[in-house]
A and B are shown apart, each in its own frame.
Chain A
Amino acid sequence: MIWLDTLVQGILLGGLYALFAAGLSLVFGIMRLVNLAHGDLIVFAAFLILVTVNLLGLNPFLSALLAAPLMFATGWALQRLVLNRVLGKDILPPLLITFGLSVALQNGMLEVFSADSQRIRAGALESASVDLGPVTVGTLPLLTFGSAVLAIFLLNRLFYSTALGRAFRATSDDPVTASLMGINPRGVFAIATGLAMVIVTLAALYLGMRANFDPSIGPARLIYAFEAVIIGGLGSLWGTLAGGAIIGIAQTVGAQINPEWQILAGHIAFLVVLLIRPRGLFPRAVD
């Protein structure tokens, strides 16, 4: 029974990692850009939600609803003002810029919020649980996983059955030809990054309610996100969910054996999957 419990906890934890990863995957899929500040942006969004909770006394979910448009605007402006200028054949400039942004964000948050760890208080939800027959699971992890599934479902719908999604795919295929169709690739990129930041807000909400966070934890969230994307296969959002679940399971199983092994077990699972399937479980992108 304990193993079934561990498995279920792992899968639910994977939902959080999938939320970390979905925005990264979206941006990479559309503009072949790896945003090294992705994890720090998650932490930034968590602070934004925290501040709204503390200042306005709102509940975390409403705060996230307020933070989401702000984060969209942040992503949109980041793309318009900075990233669009460095996108090109050479992949190094965007990496350097986003690495710089990551360092700047961490230091800025340290300055403003100090190094103290914080938590978004969720009241009774923190300890609530649901009885699912053989296992009992926390309501919060269940909500996290449900949100991840819903977010990925909606993103897929957006991608494959709306005009915006069509423009995303066309621009990803060939930005020059897309521009001949009246699409402004830079505008499309800005919307995509804005959208990624909305998912980042959702990830930040659950990250902040689940555990303590401080300005320094962004890079590790980026690593989990990155591993989930790679395990799932570039370009497949459902693959990203599977990737998140695999890391989650590996971590909870590792922790079950020896608490010190939790993080390491996730990385080992990543390496094992890469050894067996170098292109991930569900590769879609051909390049």
Chain B
Amino acid sequence: MQPNPDTPLLETRGLTAAYGQFKALFGIDLHIHPGECVAIIGANGAGKTTLMRAITGVLRNDPGMVLHRSTPIGALSPDQVMQRGIAMVPEGRKLFPSLSVEENLLIGGQVRRGSGHWSLDAIYRLFPILRERRHSPGTALSGGQQQMVAIGRALMSNPELLLCDEISLGLAPVVIRDIYAALPAIRDTGAAVVLVEQDIARALSVADRIYCLMEGRVTLTAPSAEVTRAAIHAAYFGEAA
């Protein structure tokens, strides 16, 4: 069966999320097509991480609020969502302290889809420094190296959709550049990528499209090439441009 090219890989419809009484997302509609690179920008507390948690099943929803190739997945558990080919690089990296670098990578590949591109060897070619450090505890590495492990760990399952939550958080500009240099190789495998990013210029330069979130709502969506600084400023801070 040929998949319909117009069917989004992932779609959210009126996605809401709350922490107890506190509502964090108010009806998010977004879609990501196969192979696309989409950036999600927004100020601190806008709800970007909450959106990632809702998509990956850490926060449960009504089934129809999240669709994977038109199949409702909103009520699935995180492990079930992951097994559908949606892998997460969580905010703050979240390496397993009891595991070595290599074990962190291996655990990402414990549930693998098909005989895809990624293997330990391919990850070590993407980030050569990890090969040297493969027996160190994951948490003994520098921030940038830990971020590489977190990305490699997610790639090991050969995902169709890679969700990255603030992979440049707290890293020096040269390190951020090294990490972003891996993006083309990742996209070459055909994977779609979602980048949650605070750096607007970087988001615009690497993504095909952007969504801007503010206080739990989408305030702007446009192809990166077409947005103006004024529109982003308005969407980001809620001021009239």
**Chain A residues in contact with chain B, CB under 8 A?**
163, 166-167, 169-170, 172-174, 176-184
Contacts and interface: CB of A to CB of B under 8 A. Distances in A.
Interface residues of B, number: 24
Interface in B88-107: 88, 90, 94, 96-99, 103, 106-107
Interface in B107-135: 107-108, 110-111
B108 A181 contact: yes
Given A166-B103, A176-B78, A177-B90, A183 B110 contact: yes
A181 B82 contact: yes
Contacts of A163: 106, 110
Contacts of B90: 177, 180
B83 interface: yes
A181 B107 CA distance: 7
B77 interface: yes
Contacts, number: 64
A166 B96 CA distance: 10
A173 B98 CA distance: 7
A169 B88 CA distance: 19
A234 B26 CA distance: 45
14 contacts: A170-B107, A172-B98, A174-B94, A177-B90, A177-B94, A177-B96, A179-B82, A180-B58, A180-B78, A180-B82, A182-B111, A182-B157, A183-B79, A183-B110
A97 B56 CA distance: 32
Contacts of B78: 176, 179-180
B110 to A, nearest CB: 6
Interface in B61-98: 77-79, 82-83, 87-88, 90, 94, 96-98
A181 B110 contact: yes
Contact of B79 (A166, A170, A184): A184
B77 A170 contact: no
Given A166-B107, A166-B110, A179 B96 contact: no
B99 A166 contact: yes
B209 interface: no
A172 B58 CA distance: 17
A79 B204 CA distance: 49
Contact of B107 (A167, A172, A176, A184): A167
Task: Count chain A CB atoms within 10 A of each CB in B77, B87, B97, B110 and give the residue with the most.
Answer: B110
Contact of B97 (A173, A178, A179): A173
Contacts of A177: 90, 94, 96
Contacts of B56: 180
Contacts of B111: 181-183
A167 B56 CA distance: 19
Contacts of B157: 181-182
Interface in B24-39: none
B96 A182 contact: no
Contacts of A182: 79, 82-83, 110-111, 157
